[in-house]
């Protein structure tokens, strides 16, 4: 009954490979996110989907491609992995309210530690 679950937890791969990280949430939230946390623990948003539509797309290399088959799932595919892609990738979700007013904070997954060698 994990709220936001990511797989795999750890991923070690060679440069140049293609890999995917999967995320699923069972909270009924309508918006999902991918964040990257670097070695200095800085959390930077990469993408956001609302009801399967891309709404935030930060300056991320186009080797990173998110896919949301439904509003409970958001996957991240990375092509031609580079050493600098090594980081912890967090999936998060929340319920967005109407514009303004109170809204729920993010619920994060436990992260996927990607190591590119």
Partner 1 sequence: GQQLNQSPQSMFIQEGEDVSMNCTSSSIFNTWLWYKQDPGEGPVLLIALYKAGELTSNGRLTAQFGITRKDSFLNISASIPSDVGIYFCAGQLAGGYQKVTFGTGTKLQVIP
- Residues at the interface with partner 1 (CB under 8 A): 4, 31, 35, 40-45, 48, 50, 55-56, 58, 90, 92, 96-100, 102-103, 105-111
User: Nearest approach, Cβ of 117 to partner 1 (angstroms)?
Assistant: 21
Closer residue to partner 1 (CB): 13 or 107: 107
Tokens 């935030």, located at residue: 56
Closer residue to partner 1 (CB): 31 or 75: 31
Closer residue to partner 1 (CB): 86 or 111: 111
User: Nearest approach, Cβ of 109 to partner 1 (angstroms)?
Assistant: 5
User: Nearest approach, Cβ of 94 to partner 1 (angstroms)?
Assistant: 9
Coil, strand or helix: which one is 52?
coil
Coil, strand or helix: which one is 107?
strand
Closer residue to partner 1 (CB): 66 or 109: 109
User: Which residues pair with residue 14 across a beta bridge?
Assistant: none
What is the chain's percent helix, strand, coil content, to nearest 5?
A: 5, 55, 45
User: Nearest approach, Cβ of 51 to partner 1 (angstroms)?
Assistant: 11
Q: What stretch of H or E contains 73?
A: strand 73-78
In sign, the C-alpha dihedral spanning 5, 46, 19, 88 is negative
């Amino acid at each position: 009954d994990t709220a936001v679950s990511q797989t795999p937890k750890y991923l070690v791969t060679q440069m140049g490979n293609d890999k995917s990280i999967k995320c699923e949430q069972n909270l009924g939230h309508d918006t999902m996110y991918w964040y990257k946390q670097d070695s200095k623990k800085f959390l930077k948003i990469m993408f956001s989907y609302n009801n399967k539509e891309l709404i935030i797309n930060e300056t991320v290399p186009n080797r990173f491609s998110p896919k949301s088959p439904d509003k409970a799932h958001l996957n991240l595919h990375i092509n031609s992995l580079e050493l600098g892609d090594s980081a912890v990738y967090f999936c998060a979700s929340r319920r967005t309210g109407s514009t303004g007013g109170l809204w729920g904070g993010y619920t994060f997954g436990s992260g996927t530690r990607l190591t590119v060698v």
